[in-house]
């Protein structure tokens, strides 16, 4: 039923759009990647993605299709559309938008946090969908998806930040979709410093196509016992999105809660990859676990702290370090997601 209905949407829209060819290999001047899958919002149990981490992509055929409505002048231009610093590119295949980094979006170093960047990526993706004619109801769901009570859910997210923008900087983010499979979409982003045009980051919700890229690496399950643990994390009301699910950016914050303070003091996040296995509900309690990944550029030594032995990071001359992460429900240990983070030493300022 789902396949047939989706196919009907696609046939109607294919006459109005064309697909974007995936990039053959990464070039900092090229565009970047992303993927979500759809799941039922009417289920009373916790939703699971309907596809694997290599989730396919519905949104290409459906998202680009709305360009014809705009071209025919049938789309209503709102005040928000007039004020928004974003628009489709000339070829109509991608969307660009500029943002000023606000004071409440930066951390102690006066640079944007990774959560800020993830929220901007989500905003640009939603604005892109709206600009080509998608509804604002339920993060750009199609008419058929709404009839079947389906929503988009993130299956895998990968973000790389080469340079964090500072308070007052202007960031230009470009995004586009690529079709892949029957029930998913792949969305990519690339971030630039608008003043210089330099590429400062990229992101995807699927794997980058080039070989040996870190986003392609399988994330193993964290072995017990973890070296670091933060327990008792609870979703706030503000963490729920318009679909009444915990927003995927919230999981990023939870993952980072288990990073040891000595790493936070001396390093900054360079890459983060998350595999979303299961959603948590508003009344769930979450544990965030982390351990140093062997071979990740950090040496771990065992030291005693009070009555408990735990591994600590030997900093010394280490410029990079890598961690494995695991989020689970406190009540039953059920896996929510697993991740990998890579950290580099903070630049001198």
Exactly one of 5, 109, 229, 243 is catalytic; name it: 243
> SS3 of 94, please?
coil
Strands (E) across the chain are located at 35-40, 86-88, 95-100, 150-161, 170-179, 184-193, 199-204, 228-233, 267-276, 286-292, 299-305, 308-314, 320-329, 335-345
Written as six digits, the tokens of 185 are 């979409």
State how far the Cα of 48 lies from the Cα of 286, in Å rounded to an integer.
Answer: 17
CB-based contact 30:18 (threshold 8 Å): no
Exactly one of 245, 247, 267, 321 is catalytic; name it: 245
Told to judge if 128 belongs to the known catalytic residues of this protein, a careful annotator would answer no
CB-based contact 204:187 (threshold 8 Å): yes
State how far the Cα of 133 lies from the Cα of 73, in Å rounded to an integer.
Answer: 11
Told to judge if 38 belongs to the known catalytic residues of this protein, a careful annotator would answer no
Told to judge if 280 belongs to the known catalytic residues of this protein, a careful annotator would answer yes
Exactly one of 17, 38, 280, 321 is catalytic; name it: 280
Cβ atoms < 10 Å from Cβ of 259: 21
Phi, then psi, of 327 in degrees rounded to 5: -105, 135
Written as six digits, the tokens of 154 are 């993130």
So which residues are the catalytic ones?
A: 243, 245, 280
């Amino acid at each position: 039923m789902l396949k047939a209905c989706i196919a009907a949407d696609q046939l109607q829209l294919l006459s109005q759009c064309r697909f974007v060819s995936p990039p053959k290999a990464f070039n900092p001047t090229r565009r970047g990647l992303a993927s979500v899958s759809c799941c039922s919002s009417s289920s009373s149990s916790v939703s699971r993605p309907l596809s694997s981490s290599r989730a396919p992509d519905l949104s290409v055929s459906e998202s680009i299709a709305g360009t014809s409505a705009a071209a025919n002048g049938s789309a209503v231009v709102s005040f928000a559309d007039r004020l928004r610093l974003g628009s489709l590119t000339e070829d109509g295949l991608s969307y660009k938008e500029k943002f000023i980094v606000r004071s409440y979006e930066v951390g102690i170093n006066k640079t944007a946090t990774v959560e800020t960047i993830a929220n901007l990526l989500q905003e640009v993706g939603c604005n892109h969908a709206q600009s080509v004619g998608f509804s604002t109801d339920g993060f750009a769901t199609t008419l058929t998806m709404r009839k079947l009570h389906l929503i988009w859910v993130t299956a895998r997210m990968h973000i790389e930040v080469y340079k964090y923008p500072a308070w007052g900087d202007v960031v230009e983010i470009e995004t586009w979709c690529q079709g892949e499979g029957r029930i998913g979409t792949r969305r990519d982003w690339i971030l630039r410093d608008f003043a210089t045009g330099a590429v400062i980051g990229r992101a995807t919700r699927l794997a980058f196509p080039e070989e040996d890229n870190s986003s392609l690496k399988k994330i193993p399950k964290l072995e017990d016992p973890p070296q670091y643990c933060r327990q008792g994390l609870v979703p706030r009301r503000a963490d729920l999105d318009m679909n009444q699910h915990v927003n995927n950016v919230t999981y990023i914050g939870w993952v980072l809660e288990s990073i040891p303070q000595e790493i936070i003091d001396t390093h900054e996040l360079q890459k983060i990859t998350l595999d979303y296995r299961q959603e948590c509900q508003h009344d769930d309690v979450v544990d965030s676990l982390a351990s140093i990944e062997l071979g990740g550029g950090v040496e771990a030594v065992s030291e005693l702290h009070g009555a408990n032995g735990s591994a600590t990071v030997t900093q010394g001359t280490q410029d990079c370090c890598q961690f494995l992460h695991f989020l689970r429900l406190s009540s039953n240990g059920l896996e929510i997601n697993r991740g990998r983070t890579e950290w580099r030493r903070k630049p001198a300022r």
